[in-house]
Amino acid sequence: MVRVYRLCDPGTMANRAQSLPENAPGSFFVDPTCIDCDTCRQIAPRTFGDTGEFSFVQLQPRDAAETRAALRALVACPTGSIGTADKRGIAEAVDDFPFPLAPRVSYCGFNSRKSFGGNSYFVEHPDGNWLIDAPRFVERLARRFEEKGGIRYIFLTHRDDVADAALYAERFGSTRIIHRLELAAQPDAERVIDGFDPVELAPGFLAIPTPGHTRGHTVLLHATEFLFSGDHIWWSRMRGRLTASRDVCWYSWRRQVESVTRIEPYSFEWVLPGHGERAHFPREEMRREMARLVAAVGEG
- The residue type at 121: Y
Q: Within 10 A of 108 (CB to CB), how many other CB atoms are there?
A: 26
- The pLDDT of residue 1: 28
Per residue in 261-295, is it b (16+ CB within 10 Å) or e — as a string?
Answer: ebbeebebbbbbbbbbbbbbbeeeebbebbeebbe
- The residue type at 249: C
Tell me the average pLDDT across 291-297. Answer: 96
Tell me the average pLDDT across 89-108. Answer: 97
* Confidence grade of residue 299 (pLDDT, cut at 50, 70, 90): confident
Nearest to 201 by CA among 212, 190, 210: 190
- The pLDDT of residue 300: 63
Q: Is the pLDDT of residue 2 over 80?
A: no
Each residue's pLDDT tens digit, 146-164? 999 999 999 999 999 999 9
Tell me the average pLDDT across 7-26. Answer: 79
Tell me the average pLDDT across 62-86. Answer: 97
* Confidence grade of residue 7 (pLDDT, cut at 50, 70, 90): very low
Out of 1.20.1250.20, 3.30.230.70, 3.30.70.20, 3.40.1010.10, the CATH code matching 16-88 is: 3.30.70.20
The reply to whether the predicted model has a pTM over 0.75 is yes
User: Which DSSP symbol is given to 118?
Assistant: B
* End-to-end CA gap in the chain: 56
Q: Is the pLDDT of residue 4 over 60?
A: no
Share of the chain above pLDDT 70, in %: 96
Residue-range domain boundaries for the chain: 16-88, 99-298
For residue 154, list its beta bridge partners: 131, 176
- Report whether CATH 3.60.15.10 matches the domain 99-298: yes
